[in-house]
Amino acid sequence: MERHETHPQTLAGQFLIAMPQMADSRFAHTVIYLCAHSPEGAMGIVLNQKASSLTFPDLLRQLEIIDAGADIVLPAPADRMEVHRGGPVETGRGFVLHSQDYLAANSTMPIHDGICLTATLDILRAIVDGKGPSRAMLALGYAGWGAGQLETEIQENGWITGPADSEIIFDPATETKWDRALANIGIHPAMLSSEAGHA
């Protein structure tokens, strides 16, 4: 007998947009790109929180990709690269969402619609050498959910899902991403009541 799913099997490759009543302050007004989602859990990268005190050159020195005393001259587009806070899990580890024109064997994970994830130092070295992807977004840490946890949070009106948009993912203007992700699914922030309502 054929089963009909009311929800897609996986939300990987979609945006997870925090509702105004999001109880967890770490995720207030966030847009998350879901990289993986299965019955075992989910993992995503927050797209609109910059790391306040850490620059890309600082990070390169910390990771010893560039000598501490060396002058850093980065090729475009690496010279505009910023460091984001990708979520509260493994905050010392870097994750790069990027275009599919960079693929590292055994370490790049294609996700959906030309968006890939790489979490090794090789991609940072490639970016510094001008051999990296044409579009990239670097984050420290990620957001993670255990089995069934994300589905429960969605049912409790903590999140709304929508199609991902690469222009939003890679745009450096973090302050507009939440509004734009909502606009993509036809929602104006003023339409969202901070009271959780169930149909």
Q: CB 59: neighbour CB atoms within 10 A? A: 18
User: SS3 helix, strand, coil % of the chain, rounded to 5?
Assistant: 25, 30, 45
> Model pTM greater than 0.75?
yes
pLDDT (0 to 100) of residue 189 = 80
Residue 152 burial class via C-beta count within 10 angstroms: exposed 0-12, middle 13-18, buried 19 and up: exposed
**Length of the chain counted residue by residue:** 199
The residues spanned by each domain of the chain are 14-188
Return the pLDDT at 194: 52
Q: What pLDDT does 193 receive?
A: 61
Residue linked to tokens 């745009």: 171
**In the prediction, which pLDDT does 65 show?**
86
Q: What angle do CA 8, 6, 150 make, to 5 degrees?
A: 60
CA distance 20 to 190: 10
Q: Give the residues of the chain that fall short of pLDDT 50.
A: 1-7, 195-199
Spatial separation of the C-alpha atoms in residues 119 and 163, rounded to whole Å: 23
Whether 15 and 161 have beta carbons less than 8 Å apart is answered as: yes
DSSP 147: T
For 99, the token pair is 């275009």
Task: Give CA–CA dist 67/138, Å, rounded.
Answer: 20
User: What is the CATH number assigned to the segment(s) 14-188?
Assistant: 3.40.1740.10
Write down the H helix ranges in 21-128.
56-62, 121-128
Question: Encoding tokens for residue 35?
Answer: 């990289």
Give the span between the Cα atoms of 1 and 62, in whole angstroms: 56
Please state, in angstroms and as integers, the Cα–Cα distance from residue 88 to each residue in 102, 141, 171, following that order: 27, 6, 22
